[in-house]
């Protein structure tokens, strides 16, 4: 069964394997909050617990989850409880990433579906989600979960970011 779970020490070996695969791929770990989560894992867990209640400077409160298939951490989801000006353009309420070996198996679609439940429980009327214009797989995941594309955002370097609203 695929489920979003809170990061925990008992899955440290699976976590280390997850991070190792991302590093070996040469890609940046997504969502970006997970990229700062290396060792010691205890520090990350403490930081995440704190950031669910108190937003760091220039951030919003957020919750991070591992997408777990019962044996392996296949991805991660970061749910931002609110939006600041930057997140309204790039990032949105939910960011997710799937480890390279687990892609194209429906994990992102299911992870986003479950994250939308957290947003509903929090009382949000909608979520905003973004992806790079060249990330067609992520665009399909968002559309599959009810995303309605709105006006794109153009970053300073000219990169286009697709923006979607998912009514809850």
Per-residue pLDDT tens digits for 120-131: 999 999 999 999
Please give the model's pTM, rounded to 2 decimal places.
Answer: 0.93
In the CATH hierarchy, which fold is given to the domain comprising 3-167? Answer: Aminopeptidase (3.40.630)
Q: Does 162 or 42 have the greater pLDDT score?
A: 162
When pLDDT is cut at 50, 70 and 90, the band that residue 99 belongs to is very high
Cα-to-chain-centroid distance, residue 20? 18
Q: How far apart are the first and last CA of the chain?
A: 24
Domain ranges of the chain: 3-167
Please give the pLDDT value at position 57. 84
Per-residue pLDDT reduced to its tens digit, 53-76:
998 888 899 999 999 999 999 999
Long-range CB pairs of 27-32, under 8 A, 24+ apart, other chains included: 27/100, 29/76, 29/97, 30/76, 30/95, 30/96, 30/97, 31/64, 31/76, 31/77, 31/78, 31/95, 31/96, 31/97, 32/95
Per-residue pLDDT reduced to its tens digit, 110-154:
999 999 999 999 999 999 999 999 999 999 999 999 999 999 999
Q: Average pLDDT, whole number, for the chain?
A: 93
């Amino acid at each position: 069964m695929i489920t979003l779970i809170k990061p925990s020490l008992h899955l440290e070996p699976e976590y280390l394997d997850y991070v190792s695969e991302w590093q070996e791929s040469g890609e940046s770990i997504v969502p970006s909050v997970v990229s700062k989560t290396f060792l010691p894992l205890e520090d990350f867990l403490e930081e995440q617990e704190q950031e669910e209640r108190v937003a760091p400077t220039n951030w919003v409160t957020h919750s991070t989850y591992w997408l777990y298939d019962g044996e392996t951490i296949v991805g991660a989801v970061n749910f931002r409880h609110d939006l600041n000006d930057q997140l309204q353009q790039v990032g949105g309420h939910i960011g997710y990433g799937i480890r390279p070996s687990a892609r194209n198996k429906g994990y992102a679609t299911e992870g986003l579906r479950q994250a939308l439940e957290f947003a509903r429980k929090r009382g949000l009327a909608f979520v905003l989600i973004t992806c790079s214009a060249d990330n067609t797989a992520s665009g399909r995941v968002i559309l599959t979960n009810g995303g309605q594309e709105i006006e794109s955002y153009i970053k300073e370097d000219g990169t286009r970011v697709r923006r979607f609203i998912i009514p809850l």
